[in-house]
Amino acid sequence: MRDRDYYPAGAYDDPNAPYNQSEQPDKDFGVTCSQTLSKEVTVTTNKYTLECDYDEDGFWKHTDTSDICWADEYKSNGYHTPLKLLQLFKEFLEEQKSQGIVFKTPHFTNKLIEELDDWQEDETEYIGE
């Protein structure tokens, strides 16, 4: 029983001693990544209403944008939502991979492609000036 000589007295069979501990096994947990993103862009449209009126200083114009669907205008100006950008990036990676081109390593490319799946759009809001 020479092994017992290496441990403090009475600690050889102590289940709480660090040398008697085993590692916790890996366990899967569900995690939701929720992020709020925003980006200010310039959208060109002619769908506004120009209202003219007079005040005490003279003639003034007011631009009414209350009837504009900013989601449609955003898309018609060639912009993409983050969800659409993820989809396009995945398609790009898959196309490159099919041609033998990978980003960093094949494993990294496959992991990126896998990670680009299953994103959900929880909320989208378009706010015009």
In DSSP notation, 65-128 reads -TT--HHHHHHHTT---HHHHHHHHHHHHHHHHHTT--SS-HHHHHHHHHHTSS----------
Q: Do 94 and 67 share a domain, yes or no?
A: no
Q: Do 127 and 89 share a domain, yes or no?
A: yes
Supply the pTM of this predicted model.
0.68
Q: Do 63 and 85 share a domain, yes or no?
A: no
Owning domain of residue 55: 44-79
Q: 106 in a domain, yes or no?
A: yes
Q: 12 in a domain, yes or no?
A: no
Distance, in Å, from the CA atom of 39 to the CA atom of 35, rounded to the nearest integer, reads: 13
Q: Do 87 and 129 share a domain, yes or no?
A: yes
Is residue 21's pLDDT more than 80? no
- Give me the percent of the chain exceeding a pLDDT of 90: 50
Q: How many domains does the chain have?
A: 2
Q: Do 59 and 102 share a domain, yes or no?
A: no
Cross-strand partners of 52: 61
The stretch 4-22 carries a mean pLDDT of 70
Q: 32 in a domain, yes or no?
A: no
Is residue 125's pLDDT more than 70? yes
Q: 33 in a domain, yes or no?
A: no
Is residue 87's pLDDT more than 80? yes
Q: Do 91 and 50 share a domain, yes or no?
A: no
Q: Do 75 and 99 share a domain, yes or no?
A: no
Q: Do 129 and 98 share a domain, yes or no?
A: yes
Q: 8 in a domain, yes or no?
A: no
Q: Do 73 and 54 share a domain, yes or no?
A: yes
Q: Do 87 and 126 share a domain, yes or no?
A: yes
Q: Do 119 and 129 share a domain, yes or no?
A: yes
Distance, in Å, from the CA atom of 38 to the CA atom of 51, rounded to the nearest integer, reads: 30
